[in-house]
Structure 1
């Protein structure tokens, strides 16, 4: 039976940063289990940059200003002590990444280049052209290999094992062989990414961003927090929803409607295209709904115009965006505007983290970092450039604290790991034999269309209640779904089946918590409650798993310096 002191689930930037830090302790055995090869993790799709108040472009910037911008961007739902910690640590983590080998773009004097991003008071987004996540991911993976971190690639974690409020290990399937294993671990760090694939129809996420870690922890009794807050990035490609980085607007791109207007002047006259993402996404959808876009239905769009930037700037700073526009839309942004529309992008909610300095959850020995976690530093709306920052700032101490926890945790010989492994194997064998009449694609697409139409960018009570009932219906139909492939080797049908179960659980929580939050805040915009309600809803939602559906409670937002005020951009 596999046995680790520290086990990291997920090999994106957060998981690798935690693994790298943990691997510095030579007396502790560190392993990483990941359902995809590490450099295929979704961190590689993060394009625009990573925030830190280096003040390389404007000397007036500081961690204090970064903190305020993040608190304001979160619509005051972010916990201010955690935000201050992140923004204060940011410059140190950037220089650490630089020393590890991340090839940041440079200013003429050799310092790290920084570009403007939405909701920021100064240009503070460090970048490597438009491939920032890609180079961070590869650099961290190389460093983990150097430190002899043990990787279990293409293993799917099916279950978190908890006993008496403590982590015991996980149940995982080796996708290549189909064998089911229990992996013992004293400390477990979840870094499995977000759940935006709930909105399957228009999505910027990797196909594997199915909320696995969030759902596993939820089912194991750990509350999940602020699940109603899902970010819709303003600029996804019209046809696919593939991300067009905010860096394109940071470099000076314009959003244009069918009347030739830079319409953001109506919605955010000071920040224009660089207002926070929730505001820009609603502005684009409003333009489309009021007839000032192009196209119809899911294929409606506005234009992102980069032509005035010039060929050289586009080729040097936005090469990947140009390639994506040409490949997926048949448009060269040097010559023509790019057709764009909001796309489901980021999960502000996630696994409830009790202690931001360690990333520990309410279960001893279980940690969560990155998009699967809710610390909460993003609150109701994440600022662009803060997600890559989140994973490196919180991944590092999570690795260190997990090592200390594992060192002080004696071996537990009372827990029957063998019985758990035999039970898990029987369950998977029964799944593979199971018969059913439902079609997985039908359930998945009905879920996604329901969530997009009824719990999307604009929300109202009646459609959300309809969505809740529809998700319950789909969960019942899921019980009549067969895997459809009884083989063991590379059974992707089994993985798809399990992932859909996770997504349905999370979709239900999103819809219920969204319907219960009777206000508009950040990415949660209700037509029937258009104002923010600090008196009743300046609080985090917490969803607890029960057999009858989620039980919802609330907890206070931690306010240290900045009292809530109206957001104006």
Structure 2
């Protein structure tokens, strides 16, 4: 390989990730007098936010005036099985109404009620219809509004840059290093503050709802290597309704069929035509029970032989009027129509798919601080808001609520870019040499094969149902995969997708280890974490697992979450449509 040119960029604040969380943090910084630089692996208008379909939660009360921020918080804690960070929950739920109105002012194309108010639909496990939406393309409309505002105020973006390491001495971050994915040049960013808004980690599973080059655990792994603690890595949400590849083609396997289909009247049936969720839920509309409940119900039907011949179940909205479906679910209607399926006449085939990482970096939800000086996090890279399982519609709410607060806080710290890179144990030159070595290694192991092997490992041993023997076997297999990362053969050069995945693979292995170790440590079932050998929720496990990198490898400890405020406690004690489980 010819030595790539090295570019040095100085900025007061570097935001890694150009989705909704990164964009909202950038807007807040700029409005507070701090110009950030936003870098992204993709074009900044095409972040993973655009794949969020169904909606964004806020207790506006436009459809049911009895809703409130306190009830929203109670629903979130209940769905998170009370291992959420109550402060983070209160931040998101109390800030959400103002952020929704702000997005509306910025041109987000919300669907409306007959009275012209922002419309709201039911999403699973929520006491009231509080999910605001723009048809079934809410994330796309939301990011359009945020990027439009960012461009209006002149926020600089730099697309197609992959960050491979943070410049850190373990206690403070001084910037980040990576490479330009178009011209192959190395880039050193010297920054007074680094904000990781780099998404989640569900692409470690072979069947997932993300695009292939997204949600590979970049943010969590970068922060972990820089000295931050991770938390709740064992909690991975499997969305109940992902498309079935055997029916629609491999490219569509695992891709999300929005929860809005069920919120707007869709029902689930097995191969015998039975509306089977009544066997797993006591709700009047059992398809709208918590995502972990619905996902396990579907998985059980498939495992017991009542699935379709393609390995799924049926999701049917054909009882609804065609015009209603086209109005409420335009993207879903068009997608399936392009595949030769008329969802107004016939059911879709779906099965659970890895969708969201509740775990990530432990942080302060009002400031974004991580315990490592000058390093901040926001969005799905974080942990704490969602606990053991996430309410649909809360992830988009988190991006703009916490994003605003973090951006304002970082600006208040008045960060200054360092004049030069300090002497670090693993600085930019060491990182660039590591990348050169990776590219020049004459290995025989193919990257795509190892990524596929990792995905299958996680499906086999850390999926919807887990047990001790399987998790231990998964860790043993992971050791073999880690060794293979040193023997990868890369033919395409530094700008190839192959090299990108070779870098991503290291992040993915770190995240996979956290999921496996945490799932083995947590000897109970709680939310999205279900153990066949420990099927009940345990009072002794109302705590969080935290992960830190040490000289001896990944170290785990536990910490108890706080308590919610009195208003939220009262909401938990009141009788709503849901049967709340009181704090244990």
TM-score class, shorter-chain normalisation, is over 0.9
Q: Which runs of 5+ in 1 are unaligned?
A: none
Give the structure 2 partner of residue 343 of structure 1. 353
* Greater Cα offset, 158-167 or 275-284: 158-167
Residues in 2 aligned to 1:521 and 1:201: alpha-carbon distance in whole angstroms: 22
Residues in 2 aligned to 1:381 and 1:491: alpha-carbon distance in whole angstroms: 36
Q: CA deviation at 1:174?
A: 0.9
Residues in 2 aligned to 1:117 and 1:256: alpha-carbon distance in whole angstroms: 19
Residues in 2 aligned to 1:455 and 1:327: alpha-carbon distance in whole angstroms: 34
Q: 1:205 to 1:390 in 2, by over 3 A?
A: farther
Q: Are 1:540 and 2:547 matched, yes or no?
A: no
Q: 2:330 aligns with which of 304, 319, 327?
A: 319
Q: Are 1:511 and 2:513 matched, yes or no?
A: no
Q: CA deviation at 1:493?
A: 2.0
Give the structure 2 partner of residue 269 of structure 1. 282
Q: Are 1:522 and 2:513 matched, yes or no?
A: no
Give the structure 1 partner of residue 378 of structure 2. 369
Q: CA deviation at 1:410?
A: 8.0
Residues in 1 aligned to 2:225 and 2:138: alpha-carbon distance in whole angstroms: 34
Give the structure 1 partner of residue 296 of structure 2. 282
Q: 1:249 aligns to what SS in structure 2?
A: helix
Give the structure 2 partner of residue 449 of structure 1. 456
Residues in 1 aligned to 2:210 and 2:421: alpha-carbon distance in whole angstroms: 45
Q: C-alpha deviations, 1:248-276, integer Å up to 9, x for none? A: 11101101112222111111121411111
Q: CA deviation at 1:321?
A: 1.0
Q: CA deviation at 1:440?
A: 1.3
Q: 2:438 aligns with which of 431, 436, 440?
A: 431
Q: C-alpha deviations, 1:160-212, integer Å up to 9, x for none? A: 11136122000021111111121011111100001000002344455322111
Residues in 2 aligned to 1:439 and 1:346: alpha-carbon distance in whole angstroms: 27
Q: Are 1:247 and 2:263 matched, yes or no?
A: no
Q: 2:306 aligns with which of 278, 292, 305?
A: 292
Q: 2:21 aligns with which of 14, 32, 49?
A: 14
Residues in 2 aligned to 1:540 and 1:119: alpha-carbon distance in whole angstroms: 22
* Greater Cα offset, 89-98 or 259-268: 259-268
Give the structure 2 partner of residue 161 of structure 1. 167
Q: CA deviation at 1:450?
A: 1.2
Q: CA deviation at 1:550?
A: 1.1
Pairs within 5 Å for 1:467-506 = 467-485=474-492, 487-488=493-494, 490-506=495-511
Q: 1:458 aligns to what SS in structure 2?
A: coil
The answer to whether the 8 Å contact 2:190/2:421 transfers is no
Q: CA deviation at 1:415?
A: 1.8
Q: C-alpha deviations, 1:299-353, integer Å up to 9, x for none? A: 411100010111001111101112222335x321011000000001000000111
Residues in 1 aligned to 2:348 and 2:264: alpha-carbon distance in whole angstroms: 15
Residues in 2 aligned to 1:283 and 1:176: alpha-carbon distance in whole angstroms: 45
Q: Which runs of 5+ in 2 are unaligned?
A: 1-7, 246-252, 574-578
The answer to whether the 8 Å contact 1:74/1:380 transfers is yes
| TM-score computed with the length of structure 2 as normaliser | 0.92
Give the structure 1 partner of residue 555 of structure 2. 551
Residues in 2 aligned to 1:31 and 1:526: alpha-carbon distance in whole angstroms: 43
Pairs within 5 Å for 1:57-456 = 57-163=63-169, 165-205=171-211, 207-239=213-245, 240-270=253-283, 271-295=285-309, 299-328=310-339, 330-353=340-363, 355-374=364-383, 376-407=384-415, 411=418, 415-416=422-423, 420-456=427-463
Q: 1:160 to 1:419 in 2, by over 3 A?
A: closer
Q: C-alpha deviations, 1:356-386, integer Å up to 9, x for none? A: 1111111111111111111x11000000000
The answer to whether the 8 Å contact 1:204/1:236 transfers is no
Give the structure 1 partner of residue 5 of structure 2. none
The answer to whether the 8 Å contact 1:182/1:417 transfers is no
The answer to whether the 8 Å contact 1:182/1:420 transfers is no
Q: 1:459 aligns to what SS in structure 2?
A: coil
Residues in 2 aligned to 1:175 and 1:207: alpha-carbon distance in whole angstroms: 13
Q: 1:249 to 1:243 in 2, by over 3 A?
A: same
Q: 1:166 to 1:568 in 2, by over 3 A?
A: closer
Q: 1:227 aligns to what SS in structure 2?
A: coil
Residues in 2 aligned to 1:473 and 1:547: alpha-carbon distance in whole angstroms: 20
Over the aligned positions, Cα root-mean-square deviation in angstroms equals: 2.0
Q: 1:421 to 1:526 in 2, by over 3 A?
A: closer
Residues in 1 aligned to 2:147 and 2:167: alpha-carbon distance in whole angstroms: 27
Q: 1:547 to 1:335 in 2, by over 3 A?
A: farther
Q: C-alpha deviations, 1:8-53, integer Å up to 9, x for none? A: 0000000000011111134x33100101001221000000000001
| TM-score computed with the length of structure 1 as normaliser | 0.94
Q: 1:281 to 1:316 in 2, by over 3 A?
A: same
Q: 2:445 aligns to what SS in structure 1?
A: coil
